[in-house]
Chains A and B, each alone.
Chain A
């Protein structure tokens, strides 16, 4: 420390006069300042870093929580409409929630501004002399069809013409209507980003000619518009007053001469529903492939009209509980599943599922798959959303709920305080699922803004079994996207968690024995001259980037393993056997010689035995397959006609070995051991070899007997344990992951073994125990918790490994134990799907949730390992 020549008046007088300090006795300001600053910076920085690292967890939770929230009401505007003369047939809403068009049952149309109720001009339908009897709506296509008393069907389309204009260019007649909106006689103008104006003009366009000219007056109608452009098909189902059922399929055709678009209609008569029908309701699916007729009593007639010229009444089924009437019926988007509202307030979702031997004409059977929370009074209306599987239900007591069909959640319950206890006259759901319109008979109308960002997720859809549309039974399924818009996303994390655990368990089955045994050998038996070298070469394996492991596994090893699968299976058996055989041969050596060469020579021989095992497996892999699996293992897996005994035999071999050892211990193994003790040199070796050979033979015999009896019992491993072989499979993942897990477990286990105090070893050896006995009964028990911690840490690594499973596992989200099939792990799933997920969308948040699950899994595993390790350390401090 340099000395500053400053004089400190405060200190000199009190100092002993004799001593002359060259250095000041007060700390320099700069030192104090530096100390203070360093303290501040380090504490702030340190706390910030730790907080940031721990903040990851908070961020994940924050991203995930919205998944489990229902919906929220974001605002409401009220206005009063003049009471309409006719009941409402259909309401159409534009996607910007600005204009509503209402069609009365008499064909009269009215349009108004959705926020204020200001009227807009719109043309009514020209229905002529005849009286409208029935109507049907396709909300997705904004199309409506009216059936008149003369049997003609008239269609109309409601259009919302949208134009973007420069700011301030609305017509002079436009008057302000609410925040940033103007209304004139025909259009609504709203201010949008970039100093622009959007105008929405409603139009009702009636087709110039009726779709169907004449016939019997209809009782009920159904309409479905599917496809675009030339593949557009309009399907109209008609139930007429005589009880006749007809399916009209209208396709747009370009007239070659005039160039005009014309509807070309083909009509197909369907067999009449056999029973009497009160208040019939009709549904028709996309392209008219199925027609459903439902009476009020709950009887459903399903017609399969895939070939409309040959319609089949496929089944007749009751879809409500006895005594309950159907009071509302509507298709969800995709027109596979439909919602049935009952007079008892029940709300159920039903769809046709394929069922073997279902007893129906087309092998499909309509099942009520989901029962949603019921209303208190009869359900009066079901309004499906045009986006996703959400829908509105209204009951006779005036309650209006927004629900979701897959998650079965009630997303929103609309407060109807003070209103008449009756179902609303007007009920509409905005196309983007961001608004709901409720209108009462007295003209009072509420326009609710709603926010339901993630209607399709709940704890049950993420972690439970869900009966998805078209599936024969409830399943755990992960399928986040498909080609079509009205696809029901299946976001169950269970198959992914299963995949992660499967990859982890199979790789630990391979890696843990290898790593632990190798660690024990390194620490207790290995010559110290090579110990350092072998240890560091194993550790080097730990630093291999996992992408390299994945690449080698998937592109180099996968074809090799597929080709040599017989050799691989044989190797699992042959390599340990070769080592054991080596050991028994070694026992023939005289003790003195054996002791002298117990170091490197023995290890060299072990390597040789291992290589011999490999060589044996490679050479006899083909014959082995031929003998046990009738040619090729992969074909055996598929071909159930070949017996399962050989494979069962392999599975039961370990059990057989235990059995044989147990039986041997009962049947005079003690006497053999006594003899062994008395014999010496090669004689003992010979006897021991005989003992081992007998045990092995007995084990094989037991295993074979077990296999035969299992076969007789009809057990076949191909029922669940093994199955289809694919090139990128779990076996491969387990092997490749071994490269990542073995060095980790090995290093930690070796450290734990090395930490066992040497006086324990010395005491044991001093008592006359052999090296092997000391290892088995003293060192390993003492290091047990450390070894366990090593396994846990290896497990944590295997759970989170991404590149190896991404590249080598095939990424099929299936739930099978079969090690020859692929899997999809949580980590690989994130890597595959997150780059494409829409920010803030349901898939995005679900992937965050799977990240959180992964985080939690590894955190728990590591904490367990850490606490075990701490206990282990404490124990050694006591020893």
Chain B
């Protein structure tokens, strides 16, 4: 609103200048203005630089790059993906004062089980020859990271095919079959055997519950023990069957192998069922590249992590973030709105209410880690510990609710964001003109009817904006979650097909914590970096999306209730 006036004022300021033609240069304050402009430019460049950095690294992370085969001056042969190169000054040797700067390149040489390293720096001076042979294959595996090498031979069941005669189509078909077998084994082990294990655990707990209730050695306990024993026998039998089934498939898998030679000449045999993806990086058309790129993104978004979270997908983290944020919103929305309604519509405005208002305002600025400490001490250890004592004594001493979990995490975040929602709602309520309330009351509506049909609809844009911004904040928050239930690898999702379907006591994975964990705690920070960038891109995308939704909602709802604002 002030901008147009400022511009006209600008014009009036300029007129006397032109008339006299004499104005002291220091009155224009150009250096000062340039300093300010520079500060703004710096801020904008920081934002842009950051976004470009994340976008570039995040989008490029999955792009298949060519693999180079290098012959070094000392005769070593190696093959790897060039990751980045930089100029560096070698450490000064005692003979010469300072060595001349030189370039070096980081190669992802893979084959961790053979080299004991994933990455290797190669100085420009070391390279004798470099080429990009088309027959080099890059194999992504379920374990040990990728493998780079040449196909020597393939064994498909009882058929042994030399490397040069393996048809790419057949190879990929066989890999797909092997992957299907791996999924079957996984289903057997995680799904069915997991179910049996759960049943056994249930029985143990039931026995313990009866023992706690009636005492050890009481008739009820003995009866239960006998029944449990009987059922366990059946379960054990089924367990053995399933294990045998899985072992049979595994044995069949042994017959499908690839023999590969790495650049240095050593050979390795890989089971087809361990292969996630296989392609010839130097022999890829653009569509082929796009296919690999797309399949990597698909894997990232829809599968579980592997290799200590540095490979694979982040589905559990996406799911955990989503469930936690939704739970938080479910808790924070009614209570935040209620508190704001109380403060604005029901409480008598006075010193106490304004003091409360200031404190609530301040609580929005209290560090999130403080809420985390509170969540851990009060929710997890206090409330959760009490719940365990009352409802799950048979599981003690292993805690059920008495430790971090998704319920406590979302409660903590709800507490963290409730001041934000209260402040936003209050502001929205304050913006509804008093005359509208009075009009409604004068028409005979009750106070609640006035609030329900007149005040709340008009305040809705503000409330929704506040709520969505709170969700954005909650989705991006990590520090308090580290204390109340986020883990690096959650074996089970908080919502699944096992009764009672929603497991609020379970710990969960979170995108933000995933970044922290992979970036800082993993075996090889370099190997995890692409993963961290992609996860960062995803997280920023989600937060930005929520913010954008907030803006759109605000604008659309504002249009609907365009009157009555001042």
* Chain A interface (Cβ < 8 Å from any Cβ of B): 1, 27, 31-32, 34-35, 38-39, 41-43, 45-47, 49-50, 52-54, 56, 59-60, 63, 194-195, 513-518, 520-526, 528, 531, 534, 537-538, 540-541, 543-548, 550-552, 554-556, 575-576, 579-580, 582-584, 586-587, 591-592, 595, 598, 602-603, 606-607, 609-610, 631, 673, 676-678, 680, 684-685, 688, 692, 738-739, 742-743, 746, 754, 758, 761-762, 765-766, 768-776, 793, 796-797, 799-803, 806-807, 827, 830-831, 834-835, 839, 847-848, 851, 854-855, 858-859, 861-863, 866-867
Contact = CB atoms under 8 A, between A and B. Distances in A.
Contacts of B347: 43, 46
Contact of B361 (A56, A830, A866): A866
Nearest to A837: B376
B515 A551 contact: yes
Contacts of B374: 56, 59-60, 851
Interface in B93-112: 98
Nearest to A762: B9
Contacts of A806: 479
27 contacts: A27-B446, A42-B342, A43-B347, A49-B335, A50-B360, A52-B415, A521-B33, A521-B40, A523-B2, A538-B44, A547-B476, A547-B516, A580-B35, A583-B33, A673-B26, A676-B26, A677-B24, A758-B2, A765-B12, A766-B12, A768-B16, A770-B23, A776-B32, A831-B372, A834-B372, A851-B374, A862-B365
Interface string B30-61: 11111111111111111110100110000000
Interface stretch (B164-172, B232-240, B256-264, B538-546): B538-546
Contacts of A680: 21-22
B38 A851 contact: no
B373 interface: yes
A330 to B, nearest CB: 37
B244 interface: no
B27 interface: yes
Contacts of B48: 537
B280 interface: no
B29 interface: yes
Contacts of B462: none
Nearest to B452: A38
A610 B45 contact: yes
B312 interface: no
A513 B398 CA distance: 53
Contacts of A830: 369, 372-373, 483
Given A53-B415, A547-B478, A678-B22, A540 B516 contact: no
A56 B54 CA distance: 37
Nearest to B345: A42
Contact of B367 (A582, A583, A776, A854): A854
B6 interface: yes
A93 to B, nearest CB: 27
B532 interface: yes
Interface of B is mostly: helix
B34 A847 contact: no
Contacts of B361: 862, 866
Nearest to B344: A46
Contact of A548 (B5, B98, B418, B540): B540
B216 interface: yes
Contacts of A765: 9-10, 12-13
**Which 3 A-B residue pairs are closest in the complex by CB-CB distance?**
A800-B367, A46-B342, A545-B476
Contacts of A53: 360, 363, 415, 418-419
A31 to B, nearest CB: 5
Contact of B377 (A59, A524, A678, A738): A59
A508 to B, nearest CB: 14
Contacts of A531: 3
A540 B446 contact: no
B343 interface: yes
B18 A754 contact: no
A644 to B, nearest CB: 23
Given A42-B341, A586-B30, A586-B34, 13 more contacts: A60-B374, A517-B38, A518-B36, A534-B44, A584-B31, A607-B44, A742-B43, A765-B9, A770-B23, A772-B30, A797-B365, A802-B367, A855-B367
Contact of A528 (B3, B98, B336, B444): B3
Q: Chain A: interface secondary structure? A: helix
Nearest to B342: A46
Contact of A854 (B7, B40, B342, B370): B370
A831 B516 CA distance: 12
Contact of A771 (B10, B41, B372): B10
Contact of A858 (B36, B98, B365, B449): B365
B366 A858 contact: yes
Given A56-B374, A866-B358, A866-B362, A580 B31 contact: yes
B346 interface: yes
A576 B31 CA distance: 10
B451 A38 contact: yes
Contact of B362 (A547, A551, A797, A859): A859
Given A514-B39, A515-B43, A545-B476, A45 B519 contact: no
Contacts of B6: 524, 528, 758, 761
A603 B45 CA distance: 13
Contact of A847 (B23, B373, B512): B373
Given A46-B343, A515-B43, A534-B40, A528 B7 contact: yes
Nearest to A196: B216
A857 to B, nearest CB: 9
A515 B38 CA distance: 11
B5 A762 contact: yes
Most buried by A among B376, B419, B547: B376
Nearest to A689: B25
Given A830-B373, A831-B483, A548 B515 contact: yes
Given A46-B346, A555-B519, A556-B53, A518 B40 contact: yes
B373 A772 contact: no
B482 interface: yes
Nearest to B375: A56
B422 to A, nearest CB: 8
A540 B43 CA distance: 11
Contact of B41 (A63, A598, A606, A678): A606
A833 to B, nearest CB: 10
B40 A583 contact: no
B338 A45 contact: yes
A96 to B, nearest CB: 19
A799 B38 contact: no
Interface string B441-483: 0001111110110000000000000000000110111110011
A855 B377 CA distance: 15
A676 B25 contact: yes
A772 B33 contact: yes
Given A554-B519, A742-B46, A807-B516, A546 B335 contact: no
A478 to B, nearest CB: 17
Given A53-B418, A834-B483, A746 B43 contact: yes
B338 A521 contact: no
Contact of B338 (A41, A194, A796): A41
A758 B5 contact: yes
Residue of A576, A799, A803 with most chain B CB atoms under a 10 A cut-off: A803
Contact of B29 (A582, A772, A827): A772
A676 B343 CA distance: 61
B525 A800 contact: no
Contacts of B216: 194-195
Nearest to B216: A195
Contact of B38 (A576, A739, A774): A576
A617 to B, nearest CB: 13
Contact of B30 (A587, A673, A758, A827): A587
A676 B24 CA distance: 6
A38 B453 CA distance: 13
A545 B365 contact: no
A43 B25 CA distance: 63
